């Protein structure tokens, strides 16, 4: 079955950087819009960045714009999220998602993607 496996989470001090990766299996990666959500305890899930399945268009939530960069390597079936200048309030579980032929900003609203990973924890200390 389809699997999305995140890695790269961890603990970092405020102002630091992390690079998340998400490796997909059992799907045609190039046919999927890909994106990242996060959820902190007691908070609502937030779509933070996603990108179109083919044309490279990207979406960023205002909260991460200018600090986070989403990218994908279709040859490696891998999605990335480079996170710079991290803030303590960004401590959360980060989830990789995939949406078949999805639009570039599918993560910006209430749309639920086709597949979710198990998540990777990011902890930012002050």
Average pLDDT, the chain: 97
- Report residue 29 CA to chain centroid gap: 15
What was the pLDDT predicted at 31? 96
**The 3-state secondary structure of 7-31, one letter per residue:** ECCEEEECCCCEEEEEEEECCCHHH
- pLDDT of res. 47: 97
Sign of CA dihedral 83, 115, 34, 42: negative
Task: Convert the pLDDT of each residue in 83-121 to its tens digit.
Answer: 999 999 999 999 999 999 999 999 998 899 999 999 999
């Amino acid at each position: 079955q389809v699997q999305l496996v995140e890695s790269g989470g961890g603990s970092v001090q405020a102002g630091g950087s992390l690079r998340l990766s998400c490796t997909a299996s059992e799907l045609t990666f190039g046919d999927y819009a890909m994106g990242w959500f996060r959820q902190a305890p007691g908070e609502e899930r937030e779509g933070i960045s996603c990108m179109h399945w083919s044309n490279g268009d990207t979406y960023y939530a205002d909260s991460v714009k200018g600090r986070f960069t989403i990218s994908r390597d279709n040859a490696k079936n891998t999605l990335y999220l480079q996170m710079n200048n991290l803030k303590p309030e960004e401590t959360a579980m980060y989830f990789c998602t995939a949406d078949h032929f999805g639009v570039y900003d599918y993560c910006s609203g209430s749309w639920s993607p086709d597949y979710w990973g198990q998540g990777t924890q990011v902890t930012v200390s002050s």
